[in-house]
Amino acid sequence: QLPKTPGVYLMKDKNGKVIYVGKSKSLHHRVLQYFTAPDRHPPKTARLVENIHDFSCIYTHTELESLVLENEMIKLYTPRFNIRLKDDKGYAYLKFDAKEPYPRLVMVRNRSKDPKDAARYFGPFTSTRTVYELIHTVSKIFRLPTCHSVFPRDIGKNRPCLQYHMGQCLGICKGDITPQFYQEQTKNALLFLQKGYKGVFRALKTEMQIASDALEFEKAARLRDTLVALQKLGDKQKIVTGRKEPTDVFGYAADDALTVLSVLMLREGRVVDSACYYFGADEIVDHDAFSSFMISFYSTRQIPKSILLPPVLQLDSEGSEGLWLSEKAGYKVTVKTPQRGEARKMVELANENALRAKTVRNARNRQSEEVLEELAQLLSLEVVPERIEAYDISNSGADHWSAGMIVVEKGAFHKKNYRSFTIRTDEKSDLAAMEEVLSRRFTHLDDPSFPLLPDLILLDGGIAQLAAAAKALAEAGLSIPCFGMVKDEHHKTRTLLSFDGEIAIANQQRIFTFIYKIQEEVHRYALKQMDTKRRAGQLDSSLEKIRGIGKAKAKSLLQHFRTLAAIQAAGIEELSAVKGLSITDAKAIFDTFHPHE
């Protein structure tokens, strides 16, 4: 009885939970496909159909509307069988704030949502490493400063550093670089980021000739040095295609357990970035799912003029996805599946990258499964420990006590599920702290931020810590296997400990390595959390010494600027913009850090 019109359908399980969201230009035909010839479904779709108890539909006027609505519904419900793209807040951006007198390129995790923010952002990039390499390259070519000095405040206060003497910095600290010349350098750096090597090379060459003709030999020499650095960079970059227009190339590889999408980002014929995205056994990656992936992928990215896809992911420039991309980009975006020539070879290369990534990930997953099975056998566990929680206590004196909880899921660290606890008990001891932490953790059984109980608990400590944990578990009415991780005199994991005695792991190489990594990671995390809170307390204390600044205002300052260095570098106008601070407070803070200005 469904109409043959565009819309979005929501598949639900027996509890009414949305487990899959899809879209179609004909709801009647698309939904019907799930319930006809079930034996012909691929394994992932078959698992979905087995779990469908009910469904509902939302009708739209056009296929483009259904595409956008589908993406919003996936974000809202995060269904089990839909593929999910990592939130863009986890990606890195390159930021350039032209309002500063001597602006620099910096790495940031989030784009500002403030409409008054005039900064330029490039990205998102798939890794912070890519961003830092880009900052290093651009700063080296255009000789921008990478030190911690704040200009113009620090001009003339220090001698030029090694970077200046190596010809890799303009030496602003000397005082002979005008803001106008620096702005010219940063303008060229931005041109490089926007148009690449050739675009900026031509512009600089023309500028150098003009400077030479005008007898501005010093300026011409500086431009010549920049051109030489650019030429060296161009010689190092390998051209992989003759395509000049910005192009993204997608690849695909899949088996029953894992699907991998790879993307190569080509600019001026060179691969400037790449990424792989992994989807598990329950996540369906078909034509419809990929169209939703594309919307999420390009919602926060610069859209290239050309997108090349393998046959299994084929989309059309004139379809709803192509229209959305062109409308968002503001120019015509070509989406196609090449059948021959250089473009097809690029797709084959992206497919090879996806296949290689899938092979490596599957091998890693098999190894993790084997280690977990060996661990379950060694510890006589009833189930393979797919979720492990490890705990450690860290302190600095009597005032700063913290605990860290890390999570290992299917053999891999799951950092988004890490948690830290500030110890509240008056009795400052490892035993009291461990009992408090586990008691608090298991009072959150209905809290979505603690969604699962662990199959195994590991503690950094001995029999006393185990006793404290056993007491907390008994009070919560839980029975979870719990073991201590005991270190030797060299601070290396020596053995696992239960109430029945020690279990040697030194001769079990894979288990030893696995447990050692867990113990090191939980120690690192607990120590980091304690140190962060200790430093925050010290910053609060130092800020509270400023006239008119109490605990609440000190906290607001740190929440806004994050670091003391950022507070010190802020002007009166920026400081007064912090919630709860008056212009008098801002002046008092500024005067404290800038007594001679």
Determine how many CB atoms are found less than 10 A away from the CB of residue 350.
25
Mean pLDDT over 27-49 rounds to 84
CB proximity list for 492: less than 8 A, separation 6 or greater = 516
CB proximity list for 298: less than 8 A, separation 6 or greater = 325, 328
Fold classification of 7-77 (topology level): GIY-YIG endonuclease (3.40.1440)
Classify residue 571 as left (phi > 0), alpha (psi -120 to 50) or beta: beta
The pair of structure tokens assigned to 444 is 């959150």
Mean pLDDT over 234-242 rounds to 50
Is the model's pLDDT at 217 over the cut of 60?
yes
CATH says 247-360 is which class? alpha beta
**pLDDT tens string 407-419:** 999 999 998 889 9
CA distance 122 to 155: 29
How far, CA to CA in Å, does 180 sit from each of 167, 234, 465? Answer: 20, 28, 64
Determine how many CB atoms are found less than 10 A away from the CB of residue 206.
11
pLDDT score of 198: 62
How far, CA to CA in Å, does 262 sit from each of 257, 296, 387? Answer: 17, 15, 28
pLDDT score of 541: 66
Q: Model's pTM, two decimal places?
A: 0.63
Is the model's pLDDT at 450 over the cut of 80?
no
Which amino acid appears at position 519 of this protein? Q
Is the model's pLDDT at 406 over the cut of 90?
yes
Mean pLDDT over 239-257 rounds to 82
Q: Pick 37 or 246 by higher pLDDT.
A: 246
The pair of structure tokens assigned to 407 is 């999570």
Task: Enumerate the β-bridge partners of residue 425.
Answer: none
CA distance 381 to 264: 44
Is the model's pLDDT at 538 over the cut of 70?
no
**pLDDT tens string 380-389:** 999 999 999 9
Is the model's pLDDT at 451 over the cut of 80?
no
The pair of structure tokens assigned to 110 is 């989030």
**pLDDT tens string 461-493:** 889 999 999 999 999 889 999 999 988 777 777
**Among the listed ranges 176-185, 236-245, 396-405, which one has the minimum average pLDDT value?**
236-245
**pLDDT tens string 67-114:** 888 888 888 888 988 877 655 455 678 888 878 888 888 888 777 777
Q: Pick 428 or 390 by higher pLDDT.
A: 390
Query: What sign has the CA pseudo-torsion 492, 498, 502, 506?
Result: negative
pLDDT score of 336: 93
Confidence of residue 45 (pLDDT cuts 50, 70, 90): confident
**Among the listed ranges 49-53, 119-123, 365-369, 500-504, which one has the minimum average pLDDT value?**
119-123
Mean pLDDT over 560-569 rounds to 79
Mean pLDDT over 579-593 rounds to 88
Confidence of residue 238 (pLDDT cuts 50, 70, 90): very low
Q: CA nearest 386: which of 362, 404, 368, 361?
A: 368
Confidence of residue 197 (pLDDT cuts 50, 70, 90): low
* CB burial readout 28-38, b (16+ within 10 A) else e: eebbeebeeee
Which amino acid appears at position 168 of this protein? Q
φ, ψ of residue 294 to 5 degrees: the values are -60, -40
pLDDT score of 243: 67
Q: Is 271 helix (H, G, I), strand (E, B) or coil?
A: strand
pLDDT score of 544: 81
Task: Enumerate the β-bridge partners of residue 459.
Answer: 391, 484
CATH says 387-535 is which class? alpha beta
Fold classification of 544-593 (topology level): DNA polymerase; domain 1 (1.10.150)
Query: What sign has the CA pseudo-torsion 21, 24, 28, 30?
Result: negative
> Could you state, in order of their start, the residue ranges of all structural domains in the chain?
7-77, 91-236, 247-360, 387-535, 544-593
pLDDT score of 239: 46
Is the model's pLDDT at 235 over the cut of 50?
no
Q: Pick 238 or 278 by higher pLDDT.
A: 278
- Longest Cα–Cα distance of the chain, Å, equals 87
pLDDT score of 100: 82
**7-77 with 247-360: one CATH topology?**
no
pLDDT score of 232: 57
CA distance 141 to 525: 37
| E strands present in 119-177 | 120-125
Share of the chain above pLDDT 70, in %: 91
Q: CA nearest 563: which of 529, 534, 535, 591?
A: 535
Classify residue 375 as left (phi > 0), alpha (psi -120 to 50) or beta: alpha
**pLDDT tens string 145-159:** 888 888 888 888 888
Average pLDDT, the chain: 84
